[in-house]
Structure 1
Amino acid sequence: MIVPEESLAPYIERLASLRTRLGLPPKTEFKWNPSEGPLHKNWDALREARPQMLQDAQDLDIAAVVVICATDRMPDSWGKEKIQMEMLTYLYERVSMVLDNAGDSGILIADQPPGDRTDEKQWLGRALALTENGTQYIAPDPNRIVLPVLTARSDHLDLLQPADLVTAATTALIAGSEHAAPYRGLIKGLLAKNWLDGQGGTGLKLFPDADHSPHNLRNLFYWAFGETWYTKVSQFGSKLLPTTSGRTRPATDSGTPSRRTTCTRRRAAHEHRQHDSHVGRHPQGRTGDALLPDPADVRRGGRAVSHRRGHREVLRADLPDLAHHLGVDAAG
């Protein structure tokens, strides 16, 4: 979450008011699906708290950046540590770009990583390299992220709690969970945009997403949030996302695909040409015809979610750790 300085105290005050209204103890931690505490399985309170927290964030001009990795689509050579570092790099780059576009500075605070103090020290060491050396695309700038990345416990720092909510809800939407569908509009309104007015790749980064990859996840920007163009800021343009294929039915009311999509390279290119003939060229760039993967296959009712590779099922879509059960890691 990217919280403007003038919104820090007001948002904390709104969380305190929300706890009072729900009859919760003052230090209750808000999470997407708490495993303990006053909100554990308190579905009525959670259904009231979630949209209120998201709406309050929008009202106070708070933005979100979420990075999601489909770990079962990554090469075998990519271990857990390498994936986590790549996700942190993507997150750092996008927060830096949003701050740069606004001409602002910021402090980056992460939820305390799991494990002991040694694990946390190693994580902080890897994060320190980002602020000291930058990345391939972002030069180190002490006027943007002004301190090394810090960590804190989310139950001690209120502002980390909406980050948990947004990350979990976004992951659930990408996975096709109907439990997250009521929050689609609020999440989309929070995701940061680039200067080409696109959210895909900025407010929400999915990977793998390379143009040449057969496991490219970009079509999920359409299935989850209805985006039809993927903007490439570095190339000053956009690419058309595939929204239909020969065997795809229209999206369900929740916006998720009603059955598995099969999309060959030839059919995808053909449909791009057909779509161009109806809607014309995008004013900011030309269309693309990269092969994208099938979206998640979602059975109605949120009872099971599977991916094209490695069948993984979830007995309930509203689980405390969707990332673990779906083979998806997320940061935000």
Structure 2
Amino acid sequence: MRMAQVVLENVTKVYENKVVAVKNANLVVEDKEFVVLLGPSGCGKTTTLRMIAGLEEITDGKIYIDGKVVNDVEPKDRDIAMVFQNYALYPHMTVYENMAFGLKLRKYPKDEIDRRVREAAKILGIENLLDRKPRQLSGGQRQRVAVGRAIVRNPKVFLFDEPLSNLDAKLRVQMRSELKKLHHRLQATIIYVTHDQVEAMTMADKIVVMKDGEIQQIGTPHEIYNSPANVFVAGFIGSPPMNFVNARVVRGEGGLWIQASGFKVKVPKEFEDKLANYIDKEIIFGIRPEDIYDKLFALAPSPENTITGVVDVVEPLGSETILHVKVGDDLIVASVNPRTQAKEEQKIDLVLDMTRMHAFDKETEKAII
């Protein structure tokens, strides 16, 4: 399998109406890496993918595939294969013909085409579908055919544009793990676009978070989740999303404290240096719902990390219960033990795991902790 590194160097895309779709994107996708471009719709991720494919012209910057600049190389000569959201299968052709079509155009010998199609069909478990037409297939089967059509090409780079968004939830989960297995099996370089953070977290070696045409952060799923670069990344990754509270850093008994409208909690010693420049200043305090516990089930409750509020909404999900709790002027969302006795309109004590706290600069929204 010939695979390749993809490099974007200050890549910018400006449309004729002066709309900047992508701004100064710099990215290195290593050989055999599974990289996910993640962000809300309109953030520039699909435009970035289409520029790599050669389907969109680049306004500025350079794209390298396998060390060569491909700005002026035709899509068909870039040695990439793209799988679209709508699968783009030819309705009048059988599955076999759909998969073989690209190789026929490239004048491959018949037996070579047959070998490649059957091999790809075997990898994807669709050998028994080769004589069917697309309309006789389920969404998941069509998805496999579209992937198969890309595999037979044996390209340097696979590009996936939201390939699972048309599938139902259960099938999406199944296809996620299949695509991950496929990546290991093919040892392929894959660039994958999605707005679904769960897809990104479960599949990627590296996630590229985008917003308004700009890359916000590049990192492993672990890094993006645990050390988000700014408020946008912190709020986009994680479900339910991180709680953000306007607060002040104040000096108090035994060190620094976070003072919000309805609570005050102590900053762990290890974070005090980072907050030294923010004493008596406003910050955005962040804490994830899963780092907040119902006091009755908390391992280390102390007055320093306990806040009290009134339960607004209780959402039992089976494996956890989501509580929306009014604390001062803020609504705090906590993901707590499902055995909680919390009831709407009742008081509750919540314990914050302050070793998992985040803090962001109020002006720049960049991470301090």
Normalization by structure 2: what TM-score?
0.23
Greater relative contact order (CA < 8 Å, ≥ 6 in sequence) = 1
**Larger CA Rg, structure 1 vs 2:** 2
- Larger proportion of strand: 2
